[in-house]
A and B are shown apart, each in its own frame.
Chain A
Amino acid sequence: MDNKRPVNLDIGTIKLPITSYVSILHRVSGVVLFFAVGIFLWMLESSLASEQSFNDLGAKLSNPVCQFIIWGSLAALAYHAVAGIRHLIMDFGVGEDSFYAGRNSAWAAVVLSVVVIALLTWWIL
């Protein structure tokens, strides 16, 4: 590939719309989840190995550091799921016919994920 071709689209200098931030955060939360799957599998293993390890896991989950890591993992999951379901709805032709519809659903995804993460925080604490 010719690396000397000029690059005109410098994304760092462009004011981005909400849809861009929703998209970027979807990617970031996806990468976080790649590692969080390991945490979820560890919890699944601990909860199923024996009654003893099930109870030990319950005790570990009351540790604030553990709680924070799990909160972060679940918050990433909540955001990624909400933003992902937005795409699944768009696949049916709903809200993908104009930029304004996309902008509105992007805001809806932000608001809904904030609500879900708030509920999640309340559930963990």
Chain B
Amino acid sequence: MVTTVTSLGRSGLSDWMIQRISAWVMTAYLAFIVVYFIGNPDLSYAQWAELNSSLPMRMFSLITILSIAAHAWIGMWCVLTDYITVRLIGPKATAIRIFFQLGMIAVTLLYVIWAIDILWGI
């Protein structure tokens, strides 16, 4: 189980479940935004700011960015642990992979903080 120490859910089944739930949340958000943009082709700043500063939309956006973070963490973990391996790129692979994994986690957390800053700064 040592190899899964940097995965989000610490188990494949847990990661699978989080990946599915976050996918549904993001699909719902994407569907909402697409319908909203089609329904409001001449969107004004006032209307857009009003929508995004309402509590339900802030909550929806917050749950979506948390889903993006979890989904990206799990997805990038899969890609990095599949391709940056000792078999594929040699003995330095583990150090390189840990570097990229930490970078990925840092960027993911920065995205979440940035999104909260945007949404509650309107």
Q: Spell out A's residues near B (CB within 8 Å).
A: 1, 3, 7, 27, 30-31, 33-34, 37-38, 41, 44-45, 47-51, 54-55, 77, 81, 84-85, 87-88, 91
Which residues of A sit under 8 angstroms from B20, Cβ to Cβ?
88, 91
Chain B min CB distance to A78 (Å): 9
Contact B49 A48 (CB under 8 A): yes
Which residues of B sit under 8 angstroms from A31, Cβ to Cβ?
75-76, 79
Per the bound structure, the CA–CA distance linking A34 and B104 in Å amounts to: 9
Contact A84 B23 (CB under 8 A): yes
Per the bound structure, the CA–CA distance linking A45 and B117 in Å amounts to: 9
**Nearest neighbor of B104 in chain A, beta-carbon distance:** A34
Query: How many of chain B's residues have a CB under 8 angstroms from any CB in A?
Result: 27
Q: Spell out B's residues near A (CB within 8 Å).
A: 20, 23-24, 26-27, 30, 45-46, 48-49, 52, 68, 72, 75-76, 78-79, 86-87, 104, 107, 111, 114-115, 118, 121-122
A41-B118, A44-B118 are contacts. A1–B86 as well, Cβ < 8 Å? yes
Per the bound structure, the CA–CA distance linking A45 and B118 in Å amounts to: 6
Chain A min CB distance to B120 (Å): 11
Per the bound structure, the CA–CA distance linking A43 and B118 in Å amounts to: 11
**Nearest neighbor of B61 in chain A, beta-carbon distance:** A44
Sample 14 A-B pairs with CB under 8 A, ordered by A number.
A37-B72, A41-B111, A41-B114, A44-B115, A45-B114, A45-B118, A48-B52, A48-B118, A48-B122, A50-B45, A51-B45, A81-B26, A84-B27, A88-B24
